[in-house]
Amino acid sequence: MIRTIGLTGGIGSGKSTVAGLFAEQGAAIIDTDDIAHRLTRPGGIAIPAIRAEFGDRYIAEDGALDRAGMRALVFADAAARHRLERLLHPQILAQTETELAQTGTAPYAILVVPLLPQAPAFRRLVQRVLVVDCDEATQLARIVRRSRLSEAEARAIIASQTPRAERLKLADDIIYNDGDLDALADQVDALHRRYLQNSD
């Protein structure tokens, strides 16, 4: 199996931006958020199980998951979140394994897993953990700038995620994303050279 680096970080920390920079270097990118999205779009293979578990009210007119409705439910109800995860995680894992087997000639794979700290099954797929980190003020500012979330909503999401210090404990490598995009690209370049050497 291809050498796989698990990329994680809090909401809006820069995971997708970092993944894009690794892609420019030729790494294979597998993004579990993208996979979850595909599983839950109209006709997605997770839809029948979601309908059976949560009822029609969480399936939109077009047959996709009602994302806003489900987000509100699982944010308010931890048991519902566990039910959704029990249903989705095995399907995301299976699709991840399929994609890892199809990475062609890429020298290594970057597997983007926001939930890596809470998901042992995904940690078993990766040989290293790379955490994208930035201070909370930067994180909040970027989240609010890019989305329609208020600062209070962004804070609530951050508070619901694995605490920063705990996430950093899992890191084999850390990218500090408090600077500009050039500073980010420099860190990605340096890690890319190390990952190519295929050594720890």
Contact 131, 9 (CB under 8 A): yes
Measured CA to CA, the distance from residue 163 to residue 30 in angstroms comes to: 24
Between 16 and 127, CB nearer to ligand ATP: 16
Based on the shown chain and the rule CB under 6 A, indicate whether residue 142 belongs to the binding site for ligand ATP.
yes
Based on the shown chain and the rule CB under 6 A, indicate whether residue 13 belongs to the binding site for ligand ATP.
yes
Based on the shown chain and the rule CB under 6 A, indicate whether residue 14 belongs to the binding site for ligand ATP.
yes
Measured CA to CA, the distance from residue 174 to residue 133 in angstroms comes to: 7
Selected range binding ligand ATP among 57-65, 66-74, 98-106, 177-185, rule: CB under 6 A: 177-185
Residue nearest Mg ion, CB atom distance: 16
Interface pick for ligand ATP out of 27, 46, 65, 184 (rule CB under 6 A): 184
Per-residue tokens: 98:
């399929």
What strands, in cross-sheet order, belong to the sheet with 173-176? 28-31, 109-112, 4-8, 128-133, 173-176
For ligand ATP (CB under 6 A), the number of binding residues is 15
What is the longest distance spanned by two Cα atoms in the chain? 51
Q: What is the helix (H) or strand (E) element at residue 25, kind and residue range?
A: none
Alpha-helix runs per DSSP H in 40-100? 47-54, 67-76, 78-100
Residue 81 burial (10 A CB sphere; 0-12, 13-18, 19+): middle
Between 99 and 142, CB nearer to ligand ATP: 142
Selected range binding ligand ATP among 14-22, 68-76, 82-90, 167-175, rule: CB under 6 A: 14-22
Interface pick for ligand ATP out of 4, 7, 8, 12 (rule CB under 6 A): 12
Which residues of this protein are in contact with Mg ion, per CB under 5 A? 15-16
Q: How far is the CB of 34 from ligand ATP (least distance, A)?
A: 10
Q: How far is the CB of 147 from ligand ATP (least distance, A)?
A: 8
Based on the shown chain and the rule CB under 6 A, indicate whether residue 17 belongs to the binding site for ligand ATP.
yes
Question: Phi, psi (5° rounding) for residue 50?
Answer: -65, -40
Between 59 and 154, CB nearer to ligand ATP: 154
Which residue type occupies 66? D
Q: Residues 107 to 136: which contact ligand ATP by CB under 6 A? A: 114
**Closest residue by Cα to residue 2 from 137, 130, 121, 104:** 104
Sign of CA dihedral 195, 185, 113, 23: negative
Provide the binding-site residues for ligand ATP, judged by CB under 6 A.
9, 11-17, 114, 142, 146, 177, 180-181, 184
